[in-house]
Amino acid sequence: MGGVLQSHQKSLFTLNRVCWKKFSLGFLEQVKKLGEKGKTNFIKVPPVMDKLHKSMPTTLEDAPIMKFRQKEGERTCLTYSFASALDHAGARQNASEVCLMSKKIMEKHNTISYFIDMLKKHTKPLNFKILKVNDWNIIKNEENNLIVVLLRGSDGKEDHCVTILGKWIFDSNLKNAIPLTKESLDLCCSSDDSNDHFVKVVQALLCTNYMNMMDKKAQKKRKK
């Protein structure tokens, strides 16, 4: 999930300058403590990469707006993409609360499992089912399916999450959601500095009960 940081010589653990620039202090403190204990050789890097796009793709007139966008240098693609999709679906209170939890979630070394656990224990719990990625075709996502997806790009990195709602991709690096196509997935895996393309889905989390959290206006609209 994203990559690994390696500790060595048991209790001796150091973090180089590259790590200090790329990750938050809270996350690095966890890494340091795990390394000093000498029990963990590899630590999963959270899927939180920002991919800068100064020139935005032409958006469709009906493209949903990304309510929550990460700024350059932030590491919030998991939580902000999911919160924006929730907001568009009409579960606005949950969306705002996910956004508020963002910093705490994204600093954890076990980011995705912690994300699932946090939302499951929330006062308005959201539940997830882990999909078998080999049996699920991302392009053929069903209309009401809300799915958090960890992507692998052609650069080999697994450090970026987007959220799929029906036939829209919510990517926190963009101003609007984009249609669910192979070309759009390629865009999600690239940036202004790279021309990488989408290779595969690494992990997919289906939110099974988000429609129960939708406000009355959104529920009425869906029934029509």
How remote is the C-alpha of 161 from its chain's centroid? 3
Q: Is the pTM of this model over 0.85?
A: no
* Residue 103, pLDDT score: 83
Ranges of each domain in the chain:
4-44, 77-217
CA distance 125 to 121: 6
Q: Which DSSP state fits 180?
A: S
* Euclidean distance between CA atoms 81 and 177, whole angstroms: 9
Q: Which residues of the chain have pLDDT under 70?
A: 1-61, 220-224
In angstroms, rounded to a whole number, what is the distance separating the alpha carbons of residues 86 and 67?
Answer: 10
What does the alpha-carbon distance between residue 75 and residue 6 come to, in Å, rounded to a whole number?
Answer: 21
- The pLDDT tens digits of the residues spanning 26-56 come to 555 555 555 556 555 555 555 555 555 455 5
pLDDT, mean over the chain: 80
The vertex-98 CA angle with 190 and 123, nearest 5°, equals: 155
CA distances to 13, 98, 186 from 153, in Å: 30, 26, 8
pLDDT of 180: 96
User: What single-letter DSSP state applies at residue 29?
Assistant: H
**What does the alpha-carbon distance between residue 159 and residue 45 come to, in Å, rounded to a whole number?**
8
Q: Specify the pLDDT at position 178.
A: 95
